[in-house]
C-alpha cells in the first residue's frame, strides 16, 4: 500500500502534464500555420508592392524607386502612362472581349455540365473524358488550325477572332458538372412533377443554387481573358482592336528605360482584375470548396 500511494502522485502529475501538452499542441500548430500563411502572403504580395511603390517614384529616379522617400511620390506617372498608352480604347476592347468570352463560357458550361451531370445517355463518360483531355492541350498547339478557320470565315481582325476561339472551355464544363452533382436530385424531381421542363429546372433551380460555381468560372475566365496577350497578337493587326495587354507590351517598347512609367502602366492594367477578384472572393472560395472531385 505504501508503494502504491508513493507512485500514484507521480502518475497523476504525468497524466496532468500530458493533458496540458495535448491542449497546447493544437494551439501551437495553429500559430505556426498562421505564421506560414502570413509568410506566403507576404512573399506573394512583395512583387506587387514593389511595382506599386515604383509607380509613384519620379520619372528621373534611378532603379525601381525603392530609394525614393514618400514625400517625393507623384501621380504624374499614371497620367502620362494613361495618355501615352491610349488605355481607354484598350480597356474598352479588353472588357468587351472578356465579357463576351465569359458569357459564352457560362452558357456552354451550364448546358454541357447539366447534361453530363443529370442526363443518362450512352457514351457519357467517354464524352467527359474527351472534355477533360482538352485541358492538357496547349492553346498554342491549335493556333494554326484556328487561324485557318477564322480566315475562312473572314473573322481575322474582328472581335469574333478574339471571342470565338475560347467561347467554350473544358474546365468550365467540368466545374459546373461537379457542382450540379452536389445539388439533391429531389429538387428537380419535385419541379418535374409540377410540370417544369429541363431548361426551366436548369434556369430556375440549378443555376441560382450554383451561384458560387458560376462566380468562380466568371472570375477565372474574365481574368484569363483580360491578361491574354496571345490571341490579340496573332489574330489582330488593327490598332483599334488593341487590348490592355497588347497596349502594355507596346508601351514597354516605347518606355523601356523609364521604370516609373512602366510600373504605373502595369498598375493601370492590373488594378481592374484585382478589384474584381476582391469583390467576388467569397463566392470564389465557396465555389472551389464546394466542387468535389468525384467523377
Q: Is the pLDDT of residue 186 over 60?
A: yes
The arithmetic mean of pLDDT across residues 244-269, rounded, is 86
- At residue 11, the pLDDT reads 54
Q: Is the pLDDT of residue 285 over 80?
A: no
Q: For the chain, where are the alpha helices, taking DSSP H only?
A: 2-55, 76-84, 87-118, 124-133, 143-152, 159-163, 170-181, 185-193, 198-201, 207-209, 211-226, 230-235, 244-254, 259-279, 281-290
Distance CA 126, CA 135 (A): 15
Q: Which residue has the cell 500559430?
A: 31
Q: Label residue 29 by pLDDT band (50, 70, 90).
A: confident
Distance CA 232, CA 250 (A): 12
The predicted-structure confidence for 56-108, as pLDDT tens digits, reads as follows: 887 665 555 556 666 677 888 888 889 888 899 999 999 999 999 999 999 99
- At residue 252, the pLDDT reads 84
Contact between 101 and 166 (Cβ < 8 Å)? yes
Indicate left, alpha or beta for 158 from its phi (over 0: left) and psi (-120 to 50: alpha). Answer: beta
E strand intervals along 18-176: none
Q: Of the spans 99-108, 138-147, 276-285, which averages the highest pLDDT?
A: 99-108
- At residue 53, the pLDDT reads 85
The arithmetic mean of pLDDT across residues 218-234, rounded, is 93
Please tell me the CATH code under which domain 76-290 is placed. 1.10.3720.10
Element (H, E) at 261: helix 259-279
- At residue 54, the pLDDT reads 83
Q: Three cell numbers at 167?
A: 467561347
Higher pLDDT, 113 or 5: 113
- At residue 227, the pLDDT reads 92
3-class SS string, 149-176: HHHHCCCCCCHHHHHHHHCCCHHHHHHH
- At residue 57, the pLDDT reads 80
Helix (DSSP H) and strand (DSSP E) numbers for the chain: 15, 0
Q: Is the pLDDT of residue 206 over 60?
A: yes
Q: pTM score, two decimals? A: 0.80
Distance CA 103, CA 167 (A): 8
Average pLDDT, the chain: 84
Q: Which residue has the cell 499542441?
A: 25
Domain ranges across the chain: 2-55, 76-290
| SS3 state at 46 | helix
Q: Is the pLDDT of residue 14 over 70?
A: no
The predicted-structure confidence for 235-248, as pLDDT tens digits, reads as follows: 999 989 999 999 99
- At residue 5, the pLDDT reads 47
Distance CA 199, CA 203 (A): 6
Looking at 84-98, 117-131, 232-246, 249-263, which range is the least confident one? Answer: 249-263
- At residue 90, the pLDDT reads 93
Q: Is the pLDDT of residue 254 over 50?
A: yes
Q: Three cell numbers at 104?
A: 459564352
- At residue 4, the pLDDT reads 46
Amino acid at each position: 500500500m505504501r508503494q502504491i500511494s508513493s507512485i500514484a502522485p507521480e502518475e497523476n502529475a504525468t497524466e496532468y502534464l500530458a493533458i496540458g501538452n495535448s491542449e497546447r499542441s493544437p494551439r501551437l500548430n495553429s500559430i505556426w500555420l498562421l505564421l506560414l500563411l502570413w509568410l506566403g502572403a507576404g512573399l506573394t504580395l512583395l512583387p506587387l508592392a514593389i511595382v506599386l511603390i515604383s509607380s509613384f517614384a519620379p520619372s528621373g529616379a534611378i532603379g525601381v524607386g525603392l530609394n525614393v522617400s514618400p514625400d517625393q511620390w507623384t501621380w504624374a506617372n499614371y497620367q502620362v502612362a494613361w495618355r501615352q498608352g491610349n488605355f481607354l480604347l484598350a480597356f474598352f476592347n479588353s472588357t468587351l472581349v472578356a465579357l463576351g468570352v465569359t458569357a459564352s463560357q457560362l452558357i456552354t458550361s451550364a448546358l454541357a455540365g447539366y447534361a453530363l451531370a443529370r442526363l443518362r445517355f450512352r457514351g457519357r463518360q467517354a464524352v467527359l473524358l474527351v472534355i477533360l483531355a482538352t485541358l492538357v492541350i496547349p492553346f498554342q498547339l491549335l493556333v494554326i488550325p484556328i487561324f485557318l478557320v477564322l480566315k475562312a470565315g473572314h473573322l481575322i481582325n474582328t472581335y469574333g477572332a478574339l471571342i470565338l476561339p475560347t467561347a467554350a472551355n473544358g474546365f468550365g464544363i467540368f466545374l459546373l458538372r461537379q457542382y450540379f452533382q452536389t445539388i439533391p436530385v429531389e429538387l428537380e424531381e419535385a419541379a418535374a412533377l409540377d410540370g417544369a421542363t429541363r431548361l426551366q429546372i436548369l434556369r430556375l433551380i440549378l443555376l441560382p443554387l450554383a451561384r458560387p460555381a458560376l462566380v468562380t468560372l466568371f472570375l477565372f475566365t474574365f481574368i484569363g481573358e483580360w491578361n491574354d496577350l496571345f490571341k490579340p497578337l496573332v489574330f489582330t493587326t488593327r490598332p483599334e482592336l488593341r487590348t490592355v495587354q497588347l497596349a502594355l507590351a507596346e508601351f514597354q517598347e516605347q518606355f523601356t528605360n523609364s521604370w516609373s512609367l512602366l510600373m504605373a502602366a502595369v498598375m493601370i492594367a492590373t488594378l481592374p482584375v484585382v478589384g474584381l477578384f476582391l469583390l467576388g472572393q467569397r463566392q470564389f472560395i465557396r465555389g472551389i470548396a464546394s466542387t468535389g472531385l468525384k467523377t
